[in-house]
Amino acid sequence: MKLVETPFQALSLARSVLLEPYGLDESHLTAALAEIFRHRVDYADLYFQFTRSEGWSLEEGIVKSGSFSIDQGVGVRAVCGDKTAFAYSDVIGADALMNAARATRTIASRGAGRVAVSGALVPGHGHALYGLDDPIPRMEAAQKVALLERVERMARAKDPRVRQVMAGLAAEYDVVLVARSDGRIAADVRPLVRLSLTVIAEQGGRREQGHSGGGGRFDFGHFDDERIERYVDEAVHAALTNLDARPAPAGTMTVVLGPGWPGVLLHEAVGHGLEGDFNRKGSSVFTGRVGERVASRGVTVVDDGTLSQRRGSLNVDDEGNPTRRNVLIEDGILRGYLQDELNARLMKSAATGNGRRESFAHLPMPRMTNTYMLAGGHDPAEILESVDRGLYAVNFGGGQVDITNGKFVFSASEAWWIEGGRLQYPVKGATIVGNGPDALQRVTMIGNDMCLDPGIGVCGKDGQSVPVGVGQPTLRIERMTVGGTA
């Protein structure tokens, strides 16, 4: 698979998949946009999408499920002030497109209309962060099953206490095309694969789980033996570690967060609160605080949709804007919010390339891409050695956050008790409770080991799910509340 293609190749491919088979060309798109603008609206766009997806799961050496699906359609949106009208069709064609366009005029102000688009649509700019090839046919079905069987054999061979192995393989091929009332047209072709692994180990009647996996915008060739071995080692290690875990202590204490996936706490407790819609409506704890200190010195948080082949990256967002590297918090100072077109216009700011939607049947909204904290200057070993008594959270499971006040609760899937600057023993049942902005101001040491998660993140918001990335270095945070089982 070619690693990168030009944005113009993506546009050409999208035309061949989404327009030409249905007798459409750009004149039909401009006509639909003109139909919307027969009444007065501020903005309109058309979002075409074709998605092919496949999934396989293996349990106890048996293929438990195999799925394949194709979905396609077009969503039509019109915006007038802070009101939005939206219609979609899972049929692509001139009649369906025009009917959807007429339906969106229901919010338009009456009076003399104007046609915002005339002549040819102009291709917008975009990145070339990943290839255009469909990953699904790049490997035969029998090869995919054999890959999962190899994962299971490797996990069982690691330790006799491994009792059960569940492995899954998923792939998606997404082709989108956006035509906008400001005259721009853009497209993206998005491959996505993921390998997931769950291991259950048993000892003395006690059973514990470990999880691992990864993925991104490439094909199945990414999962070579070395990478699979690493996933297996991580999952088995987590399960066996939890077999020896003692009840977690409770109380207020120093907490050290590990690098990589623990950045999901940053994503939930801080990232959502920096999305433009929450701040426009005044429902975020960060509303109106741009330019203020919201975190300790040294804390810099970015959202970057331009990282090559990363799960959360996009060449253009779902409104046709190129993704960007957006600095949200710089050395502790809040610098800005993540914006889509609607909220940027109403807040009199610029769109940041963060307009995302689950599918053509959903409205776009401001969403994160790859959100992470930059590295600091401390060695991770130095951070652990600095802690007299506290918790080291290596990995996280589920969690939740209240956007309005920043309060969060997260459960640690792997954690250790620290005493005298050393890891003493693993603990089970630790939950970390806090407030996002408050926790950021309690960061006292930032590691030099920033890394991103392996490519497993899925973000939910208002019923929509999209792939994302998270990351951070090792962090020392003071006076965190830990709920335990001891």
pLDDT in tens, 221-237: 999 999 999 999 999 99
The residue-averaged pLDDT of 256-278 equals 93
Instruction: Tell me what pLDDT residue 401 has.
Output: 78
For 51-65, 126-140, 379-393, 403-417, which range has the lowest pLDDT when averaged over its residues?
Answer: 403-417
* The pair of three-digit structure tokens given for residue 24, joined into one six-digit string: 């459409």
**What was the pLDDT predicted at 430?**
94
Confidence bin at 4 (pLDDT 50/70/90): very low
pLDDT at position 40, please? 82
CA distances from 167 to 336, 373, 386, 448 (A): 40, 31, 39, 33
Does the structure show a pLDDT above 80 at 107? no
Residue 109 is predicted with a pLDDT of 58
Label residue 162 left, alpha or beta by phi (over 0 means left) and psi (-120 to 50 means alpha).
Answer: beta
Q: How confident is the model at residue 6 (pLDDT cuts 50, 70, 90)?
A: low
Sorted by sequence, the CB contacts under 8 Å of residue 233 that are 6+ apart come out as 158
User: Higher pLDDT residue, 211 or 404?
Assistant: 211
Task: Check residue 232 and give its pLDDT.
Answer: 98
Question: Averaged over 110-119, what is the pLDDT?
Answer: 44
**CA separation (Å) from 434 to 169, 194, 252, 272?**
35, 31, 10, 15
Other CB atoms within 10 Å distance of the CB of residue 65? 10
186, two tokens: 């853009």
pTM for the model stands at 0.94
Higher pLDDT, 375 or 408: 375
Report the pLDDT value the prediction gives residue 7, as an integer from 0 to 100.
Answer: 67
DSSP state of 272: G
- Give the pLDDT band of residue 407 (cuts 50, 70, 90): confident
Mean pLDDT of 282-304: 96
Average pLDDT, the chain: 93
Q: Is residue 131 over pLDDT 90?
A: yes
Question: Using CB atoms within 10 A of its CB, is residue 119 exposed (0-12), middle (13-18) or buried (19+)?
Answer: exposed
pLDDT tens digit string along 157-207? Answer: 999 999 999 999 999 999 999 999 999 999 999 999 999 999 999 999 999
SS (H, E, C) 216-227: ECCCHHHCCHHH
Instruction: Average the pLDDT over 392-401 and give the result.
Output: 85
**Residue showing tokens 């003493």:** 424
Q: What is the pLDDT of residue 1?
A: 31
Report the 10 Å Cβ neighbour count for 70: 9
Question: Above pLDDT 70, what percent of the chain?
Answer: 96
DSSP character string of 43-99: EEEEEEEEEEEEEEEEETTEEEEEEEEEEEEEEEEEEETTEEEEEEESS-SHHHHHH
Alpha helices in 359-481 (DSSP H): 380-385, 436-440
Per-residue pLDDT band at 403 (split at 50, 70, 90): confident
What is the percentage of the chain residues whose pLDDT exceeds 90?
A: 84
Q: What is the pLDDT of residues 439-458, one digit of tens each?
A: 999 999 999 999 999 999 99
